[in-house]
């Protein structure tokens, strides 16, 4: 019986060691990937100063960005995103984008995009296998940073000028006790068409706060300006994640980071320590059981009554 128990304990210890090895070596490369079933809406709010027919007008605005991953076109290495975004006047209890023919004329800008990204690095992938005909080639990061983000400069896609610009690591910060990395983006007077056939310049000053373990963007603050070719202001826009959006994005990122830590750090520790102790215990049981019991060694039990007789 003791021998069977020793083998059982030792086998359980070996099993825990194997689980620990798999969690430490196999799991990270398979868990640290952008999911292919993402469907998120990001809410921003702010203000705009628009130069219209009656002159400059300042008003509150909302912005919405939807990121939907196409699970049918995505695979183990690449995720395909379909995105849409808009900026609207914050009027009439609006809670999403409106069409171009909105009776209240609340739509300021709107755009759609399709891009593919490496599920590990987050960097754009330009492969016709994943993208529609006539796709716009992308570069750099778009809607997230890589897992285990570093304190360095990353290329960051700007869909107004259709190119990647440097997102420089600026500092660490804290949001509700969670450390985030803050990256700064500066675009100064990039040539664009501010309207069809109307050349001008575009500037953007942006700070992107990233939860580094997951690479999730948890806060974004930006100031956008557009001027004509002769420097007449057209639009000044200030946007930032709403407080609710920051809380939700951060909560999701922390939950995902905690799960990753449990599977890639806590499980290996428990496996190695617990497995090692069980193997030692199993070996001790084998050694202690080596002499066997009276039944197994052939020693006959003596009858106390006969001894006393």
User: Is the pLDDT assigned to residue 264 strictly greater than 90?
Assistant: no
Arithmetic mean of pLDDT, 20-44: 83
Q: Tell me what the pLDDT averaged over the chain comes to.
A: 89
Q: Which of 166, 163, 67 is nearest to 114 (CA)?
A: 67
For 184-210, the three-class secondary structure string (H helix, E strand, C coil) is: EEEEEEEEEEEECCEEEEEEEEEEEEE
Arithmetic mean of pLDDT, 185-203: 93
Cα(88)–Cα(60) distance, rounded to whole angstroms?
A: 9
Tens digit of pLDDT for each residue in 131-164? 999 899 999 999 999 999 999 999 999 999 999 9
Q: Which of 66, 84, 82, 83 is nearest to 130 (CA)?
A: 82
Query: What is the model's pLDDT at position 233?
Result: 93
Arithmetic mean of pLDDT, 160-178: 97
End-to-end alpha-carbon separation of the chain, Å?
Answer: 34
> Domain extents for the chain?
24-262
**What is the 8-class DSSP label of residue 279?**
H
Query: What is the model's pLDDT at position 299?
Result: 45
């Amino acid at each position: 019986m003791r021998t069977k128990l020793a083998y059982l304990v030792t086998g359980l210890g070996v099993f825990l060691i194997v689980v620990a090895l798999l969690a430490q070596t196999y799991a990270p490369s398979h868990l640290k990937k952008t999911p292919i079933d993402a469907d998120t809406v990001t809410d921003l709010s702010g203000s705009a100063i628009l130069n219209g027919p009656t002159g400059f007008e300042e008003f509150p605005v909302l912005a919405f960005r939807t990121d939907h991953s196409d699970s049918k076109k995505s695979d183990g290495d690449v995720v395909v995103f379909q995105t849409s975004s808009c900026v609207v006047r914050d009027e009439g209890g609006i809670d999403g984008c409106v069409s171009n023919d909105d009776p209240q004329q609340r739509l300021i800008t709107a755009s759609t995009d399709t891009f593919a990204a490496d599920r590990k690095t987050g960097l754009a992938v330009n492969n016709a296998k994943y993208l529609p005909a006539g796709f716009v080639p992308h570069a750099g990061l778009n809607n997230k940073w890589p897992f285990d983000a570093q304190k360095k400069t990353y290329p960051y896609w700007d869909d107004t000028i259709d190119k990647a610009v440097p997102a420089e690591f600026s500092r660490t910060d804290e949001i509700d006790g969670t450390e985030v990395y803050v990256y700064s983006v500066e675009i100064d007077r990039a040539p664009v068409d501010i309207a069809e056939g109307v050349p001008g310049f575009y500037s953007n000053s942006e700070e992107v706060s990233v939860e580094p373990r997951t690479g999730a963007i948890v806060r974004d603050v930006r100031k956008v300006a557009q001027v004509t070719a002769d420097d007449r202001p057209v639009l000044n826009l200030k946007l930032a994640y709403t407080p609710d959006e920051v809380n939700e994005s951060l909560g999701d990122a922390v939950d995902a980071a905690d799960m990753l830590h449990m599977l890639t750090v806590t499980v290996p520790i428990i496996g190695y320590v617990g497995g090692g102790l069980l193997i030692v215990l199993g070996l001790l049981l084998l050694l202690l059981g080596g002499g066997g019991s009276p039944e197994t060694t052939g020693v006959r039990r003596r009858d106390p009554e006969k001894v006393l007789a």
